[in-house]
């Protein structure tokens, strides 16, 4: 672990590298405790033009064994080697070859960065700065080199040896029980995309013929015995490859594409060139083991990592400040893929729900940062909802502003202009400016200004002039380090909906026409006047969530019910119901806190009744409309003095009211949607299950005995994991006698499958009852639990901290204490997972005073602990916001 005081890295300090690496030849001799790494680098001076600079290579926990320059051992006085740096003060002022030998211990690597062991498999994780834990290297993404990797290992311990690129040689090491393989990757790449794998792995193989007729071998490697759970991942991969050809004209470039699934992984997956490494949770699926949600996420993540081959690998990032250049863009691409493969409206609503639940919360708290940060202490902490999800929204806004053709032209230009380079956000946006002839100067603020813009829109119809005036005001709230903000360019897609539900033609009074129904708002206050409007319309604003803003519009409850029933934009139909429900919930939370009763809003219930009776709606869309805003959404709306108990109660009461009011229709849907025949994971069947299980959940929320026994029965007879876990969730969230038996049964059925037992941990972690904290603590001692495996920690403890607002925020503060103790215990072993868990406390400032004080005290205990990792230290300092620098 690095213990020295870390200084911030600033975007403005970027300098091109003094030394470039042309080629890397790695020779890795795998051994569980003593892996020998020989790296031969061909180095040449960078284009800085200045006098030859010292050569400074990054390291992290390394031990140097030998150092050879141009064939001769380098005398000790000519270099300095420490665990985290290798410096040659006066290297030759020309190209030279440096051979570095280090020894590392993969078994002792609990951070899961660099070379480590997952079970008996050797694997690597190098993003962002893990390569320096393997060998000394200029470990920065703008140093791109051609890699050749020789791996050697015991034949029985690691029969399969993989690295990036194509295999060029393999064989036995004569006279030993060892063998080797050599892999060559012809594409220049940054060190963070390096990967190697060794172990006993089974593989499924398929082929893909690219648009230009090249044949590519596709392989998915998994633990032996799990081959039959790769069908969906392989199918998703092939569909993703075809989609990228069709929609973006991008073709795969190597002769082989490999995916390896491992059980110990800090994140979801990693796009290493030609050798993606995945958390096995996002590969393995069968009807008996995975839910529809799992199938959906697997498809999206397989596609995401594959899409990185062009957006991330062929064109990479100049420095880590540009992280959104690959992540935001690639999330946008995987969202579009899912929208094309599934239901566009449902995908969009799901993405926006995720954005609001995570990114809006981040943007409103102490960890807020721009999509492209200007400063960081620890880059690992910037793999955030802002960089990923808001980063994707920014790309989507470019498309909305320019239209699909010019957007595609901009993308084509980006690929043509920057292929093989390490690029910046400016270069990316410039391609769209050049391809469309648009000035995108003001648009760059989406990358530099943090905070969610607040937009207030007020419309007024003038019956005599037959005009509709829309006044729009925008404000970007202050965020850490950014007290004052400039106005943003906001693409506001809108429609003026006439009484018959049809959109009125949009003509602006000043003669401008609205392209594709999008208003471009760019000033703090603006008025738009539409002419020739025959009767008072209802405005449908920010259709499709065209901009990631918080919108307040002067719509009455009647207007919202009208939009819920009639808007041609499905997103805003859903949004109208959400807005109605949010208003009611916020009122009811206030009433409960004042000692009053919750109100049943028949207007909302009637709007929902109309939705469930609308036979033209897709079932999964209907399910989304029936799902009230989450507790975090309500908390965000309230914004200060938050009482999680009152929020929970108000929401639970609303769900029960929906279940009661609509019971007849919900039971009808439930019966109508029962599937004949065996489970199929296709989107249409999944959509029916989603609605059916949503109906079940709302019915069980009423605690009606007939609903509870329906859930118990579904649990027993289910032939797939989706229906079984949905029934178990409906039962386990409520204090009903059927719960304990169902939970025991579930464990007994699936005890040998850790990924399924993760669901069992999560379901228990979200039980909204005071005994849950003790239950979670007890489960940490369960034989199926392990602090060393990130999936276990996330399923039990992160789900408790982030998914159980009520019990994590217990009024006695014991939820905070537990999480903070876990963070401190985990930090020495896996700082990345510890830091992420700690970020569950990021909204502490908006809590009511008692909880706020308890959360702050817990955070201060972390801050006071000795020998914190840079990861946890960075999060705690920023979360407390007490250090002056943000």
Chain position whose Cβ is nearest to ligand PHE:
267
Site for ligand PHE in 317-356 (CB under 6 A): 327
Tokens 């020779």 sit on residue? 27
Which residue stretch of 211-219, 303-311, 722-730, 808-816 sits at the interface with ligand PHE (rule: CB under 6 A)? Answer: 303-311
Name the segment binding ligand PHE (CB under 6 A); options: 71-79, 180-188, 300-308, 872-880: 300-308
3-state secondary structure 106-129: HHHCCCCCEEEEECCEEEEECCCC
**Rounded Cα gap, residues 500 and 513, in angstroms:** 23
Instruction: Report the residue from 28, 69, 144, 270 that binds ligand PHE according to the rule CB under 6 A.
Output: 270
Return the one option of Zn ion, ligand PHE, none that residue 338 interacts with (CB less than 5 to 8 A, by type). Answer: none
State the Rg of the chain over Cα.
28
Using CB under 6 A, which of 25, 27, 99, 127 touches ligand PHE?
Answer: 127
Catalytic residue among 299, 305, 347, 393: 305
Q: How many residues bind ligand PHE (CB under 6 A)?
A: 12
Our finding on whether 99 is near ligand PHE (CB under 6 A) is no
| Partner whose footprint covers residue 125, from ligand PHE, Zn ion, none (CB < 5 to 8 Å by kind) | ligand PHE
Q: How far apart are CA 626 and CA 623, in angstroms?
A: 5
Task: Please count the residues of the chain.
Answer: 886
d(CA 679, CA 686): 9
- Interaction partner, residue 270 (ligand PHE, Zn ion, none; CB < 5-8 Å by kind): ligand PHE
Binder to ligand PHE among 14, 383, 415, 787 (CB under 6 A)? 383
- As given in the structure block, the two tokens for residue 820 are 């903070």
- Chain positions 324 to 353 lying near Zn ion, rule: CB under 5 A, are 327, 330
- Closest by Cα among 435, 452, 242, 418 to 325: 418
Q: At what angle do helices 849-864 and 814-826 cross, to 10 degrees?
A: 20
Residues touching Zn ion, count (CB under 5 A): 2
Min dist. Cβ of residue 46 to Zn ion (A):
28
Question: Rounded to an integer, what distance in angstroms lies between the CA atom of residue 388 and that of residue 397?
Answer: 14
Q: Smallest gap, in angstroms, from Cβ of residue 327 to ligand PHE?
A: 6
E strand map for 306-374: 316-317
**Could you say whether residue 267 binds ligand PHE (CB under 6 A)?**
yes
DSSP 5: P
- The smaller minimum CB distance to ligand PHE, of residues 269 and 711, is found at 269
Q: Smallest gap, in angstroms, from Cβ of residue 305 to ligand PHE?
A: 5
Burial of 156 (0-12, 13-18, 19+ CB in 10 A): exposed
Asked whether the beta carbons of 698 and 662 are under 8 A apart, the reply is: yes
Using CB under 6 A as the binding rule, whether residue 125 contacts ligand PHE is answered as yes
Residue pair 274/165 in contact by the 8 Å Cβ criterion: yes
Residues 507-526 that bind Zn ion (CB under 5 A): none
Q: Residues near 750 by Cβ (< 8 Å), separated by ≥ 6?
A: 756, 757, 760
Task: Map the footprint of ligand PHE across residues 588-617, applying CB under 6 A.
Answer: none
Q: Other CB atoms closer than 10 Å to residue 508's CB: what's the count?
A: 13
Tell me whether residue 674 is exposed, middle or buried, using C-beta atoms within 10 angstroms of its C-beta: 0 to 12, 13 to 18, 19 or more. exposed
Question: From the CB of 491, what's the least distance to Zn ion, in Å?
Answer: 25
Query: Of 85-93, 269-277, 498-506, 834-842, which segment contacts ligand PHE by CB under 6 A?
Result: 269-277
CB 435 within 8 A of CB 399: no
Choose between 269 and 440: whose C-beta lies nearer to ligand PHE. Answer: 269
Closest CB to ligand PHE among residues 267, 519: 267
The distance of closest approach from Cβ of residue 300 to Zn ion in the complex, given in angstroms and rounded to an integer, is: 11
State the minimum distance, in angstroms, from the CB of residue 440 to ligand PHE: 25
Applying CB under 6 A, the span of 181-189, 262-270, 285-293, 841-849 interacting with ligand PHE comes to: 262-270
Residue closer to ligand PHE (CB basis): 21 or 833: 833
Smallest gap from Cβ 826 to ligand PHE, in A, equals: 17
Residue 383, contacted partner among ligand PHE, Zn ion, none, CB below 5-8 A by kind: ligand PHE
DSSP track, 61-89: S--EEEEEETTEEPPGGG-EEETTEEEES
Active site residue 305: yes
Q: Which does 273 bind (CB under 5 to 8 A by kind): ligand PHE, Zn ion, none?
A: none
The residue (of 18 and 327) whose beta carbon lies closer to Zn ion is 327
Give whichever of 379 and 859 is closer to ligand PHE, judged by the CB atom. Answer: 379
Nearer to Zn ion, 428 or 648 (CB): 428
Residue 224 CB, nearest distance to ligand PHE (Å)? 25
State how far the Cα of 716 lies from the Cα of 179, in Å rounded to an integer: 50
Quote the least distance from Cβ 113 to ligand PHE, whole Å.
8
Q: Helix, strand, coil proportions of the chain in percent (round to 5)?
A: 45, 20, 35
With CB under 6 A as the contact rule, the residue among 271, 280, 347, 874 that binds ligand PHE is 271
Nearer to ligand PHE, 312 or 628 (CB): 312
Of 387 and 823, which has the nearer Cβ to Zn ion? Answer: 387
Burial 756-789 (b: 16+ CB within 10 A, else e): bbbbbbbbbbbbbeeebbeebbebbeeebbebeb
Contact call for residue 846 and ligand PHE (CB under 6 A): no
Q: Which of 31, 305, 559, 758 binds ligand PHE (CB under 6 A)?
A: 305
In 3D space, the residue among 17, 15, 19 whose CA is nearest the CA of residue 41 turns out to be 19
The reply to whether 181 sits near ligand PHE by the rule CB under 6 A is no
If the CB atoms of residues 391 and 487 are measured against Zn ion, the closer one turns out to be: 391
Closest approach of Cβ 185 to ligand PHE, in Å? 18
Q: Using CB under 6 A, which of the segments 250-258, 302-310, 652-660, 756-764 binds ligand PHE? A: 302-310
Tokens 């490999």 found at: 258
Nearer to ligand PHE, 307 or 750 (CB): 307
- Burial track 125-149 (b if 16+ CB lie within 10 A, e otherwise): bbbbbbbbbbbbbbbbbbbbbbbbb
Q: Measured from the CB of residue 842, what is the shortest distance to Zn ion in angstroms?
A: 22
> Do residues 68 and 74 make contact, with C-beta atoms less than 8 angstroms apart?
yes
What angle is formed at CA 33 by the lines to CA 28 and CA 35, rounded to 5 degrees?
10
| Residue 304 is a binding residue for ligand PHE (CB under 6 A) | yes
Query: Which CB sits closer to ligand PHE, 273 or 851?
Result: 273
Tell which residue, 862, 883, 882, has the closest CA to residue 873: 862
Spatial CA neighbour of 238 closest among 298, 292, 333, 303: 303
Strands across the sheet with 518-521, in order?
518-521, 490-497, 538-541
Tokens read off for 766: 């979200």
Shortest Å distance, C-beta 208 to ligand PHE: 21
Residue 287: how many CB atoms within 10 A of its CB? Answer: 18
Binding footprint of Zn ion on the chain (CB under 5 A): 327, 330
Active site members: 305
Binding footprint of ligand PHE on the chain (CB under 6 A): 125, 127, 266-267, 269-271, 304-305, 308, 327, 383
């Amino acid at each position: 672990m690095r213990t020295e005081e870390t200084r911030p890295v600033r975007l403005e300090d970027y300098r091109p590298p003094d030394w470039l690496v042309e080629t890397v030849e790695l020779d890795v001799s795998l051994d569980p405790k003593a892996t020998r790494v020989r790296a031969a680098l061909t180095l040449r001076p960078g284009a800085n033009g200045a006098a030859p600079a010292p050569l400074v290579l990054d390291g992290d926990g390394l031990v140097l064994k030998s150092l050879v320059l141009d064939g001769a051992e380098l005398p000790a006085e000519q270099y300095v080697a420490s665990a985290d740096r290798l410096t040659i003060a006066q290297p030759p002022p020309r190209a030279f070859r440096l051979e570095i030998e280090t020894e590392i211990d993969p078994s002792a690597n609990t951070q899961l960065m660099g070379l480590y062991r997952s079970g008996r498999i050797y694997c690597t994780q190098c993003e962002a700065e893990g390569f320096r834990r393997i060998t000394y290297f200029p470990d920065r993404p703008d140093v791109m080199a051609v890699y050749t990797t020789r791996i050697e290992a015991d034949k029985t311990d690691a029969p399969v040896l993989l690295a990036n690129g194509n295999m060029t040689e393999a064989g036995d090491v004569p006279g030993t029980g060892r063998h080797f393989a050599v892999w060559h990757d012809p594409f220049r790449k940054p060190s963070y995309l390096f990967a190697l794998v060794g172990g006993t792995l089974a593989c499924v193989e398929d082929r893909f013929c690219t648009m230009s007729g090249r044949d590519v071998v596709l392989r998915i490697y998994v633990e032996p015995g799990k081959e039959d759970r790769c069908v969906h991942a392989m199918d998703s991969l092939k569909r993703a490859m075809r989609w990228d050809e069709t929609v973006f004209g991008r073709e795969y470039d190597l002769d082989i594409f490999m995916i390896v699934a491992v059980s110990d992984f800090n994140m979801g997956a990693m796009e290493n060139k030609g050798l993606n490494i995945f958390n096995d949770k996002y590969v393995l699926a069968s009807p008996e083991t995975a839910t529809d949600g799992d199938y959906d996420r697997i498809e999206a993540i397989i596609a995401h990592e594959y899409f990185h081959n062009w957006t991330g690998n062929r064109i990479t990032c100049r420095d880590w400040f540009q992280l959104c250049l690959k992540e935001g863009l690639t999330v946008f691409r995987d969202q579009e893929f899912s929208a094309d493969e599934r239901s566009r409206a449902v995908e969009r609503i799901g993405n926006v729900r995720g954005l609001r639940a995570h990114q809006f919360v981040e943007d409103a708290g102490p960890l807020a940062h721009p999509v492209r940060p200007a400063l960081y202490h620890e880059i690992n902490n910037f793999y955030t909802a802002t960089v990923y999800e808001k980063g994707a929204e920014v790309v989507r806004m470019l498309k909305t502003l320019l239209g699909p053709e010019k957007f595609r032209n901009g993308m084509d230009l980006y690929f043509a202009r920057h292929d093989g380079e390490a690029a910046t956000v400016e270069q990316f946006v410039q391609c769209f400016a050049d391809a469309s002839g648009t000035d995108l100067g003001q648009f760059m603020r989406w990358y530099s200004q943090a905070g969610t813009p607040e937009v207030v829109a007020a419309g007024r119809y003038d019956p005599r002039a037959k005009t509709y005036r829309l006044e729009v005001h925008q404000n970007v709230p202050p965020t850490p380090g950014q007290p004052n903000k400039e106005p943003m360019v906001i693409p506001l897609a809108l429609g003026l909906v006439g009484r018959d539900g049809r959109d009125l033609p949009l003509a602006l009074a000043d003669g401008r026409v609205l392209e594709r129904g999008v208003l471009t708002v760019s000033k703090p206050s603006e008025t738009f006047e539409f002419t020739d409007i025959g009767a008072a319309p209802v405005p449908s604003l920010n259709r499709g969530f065209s901009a990631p803003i918080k919108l307040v519009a002067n719509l009455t409850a009647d207007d919202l019910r009208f939009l819920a029933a009639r808007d041609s934009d499905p997103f805003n139909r859903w949004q109208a119901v959400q807005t109605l429900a949010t208003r009611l919930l916020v009122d009811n939370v206030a009433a409960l806190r004042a000692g009053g009763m919750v109100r049943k809003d028949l207007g909302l219930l009637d709007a929902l009744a109309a939705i469930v009776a609308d036979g033209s709606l897709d079932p999964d869309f209907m399910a989304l409309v029936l799902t009230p805003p989450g507790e975090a959404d309500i908390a965000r709306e309230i914004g200060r003095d938050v009482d999680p108990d009152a929020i929970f109660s108000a929401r639970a009461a609303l769900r029960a009211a929906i279940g009661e009011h609509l019971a007849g229709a919900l039971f009808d849907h439930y019966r109508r949607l029962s599937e004949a025949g065996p489970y199929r994971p296709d989107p249409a069947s999944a959509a029916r299950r989603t609605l059916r299980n949503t109906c079940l959940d709302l019915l069980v929320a009423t605690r009606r005995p007939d609903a509870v026994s329906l859930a118990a029965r579904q649990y027993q007879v289910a032939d797939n994991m989706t229906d079984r876990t949905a029934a178990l969730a409906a039962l386990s969230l409520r204090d009903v006698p059927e719960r304990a038996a169902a939970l025991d049964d579930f464990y007994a059925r699936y005890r040998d499958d850790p990924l399924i037992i993760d669901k069992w941990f999560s379901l228990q972690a979200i039980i909204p009852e005071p005994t849950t904290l003790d239950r979670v603590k007890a489960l940490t001692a369960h034989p199926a639990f392990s602090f060393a495996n990130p999936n276990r920690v996330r399923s039990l403890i992160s789900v408790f901290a982030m998914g159980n607002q009520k019990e994590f925020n217990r009024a006695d503060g014991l939820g905070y204490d537990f999480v903070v103790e876990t963070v401190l215990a985990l930090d020495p072993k896996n700082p990345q997972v510890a830091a992420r868990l700690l970020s569950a406390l990021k909204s502490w400032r908006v809590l009511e005073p008692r909880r706020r004080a308890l959360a702050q005290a817990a955070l201060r205990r972390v801050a006071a602990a000795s020998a914190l990792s840079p990861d946890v230290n960075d999060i705690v300092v920023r979360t407390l916001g007490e250090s002056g620098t943000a």
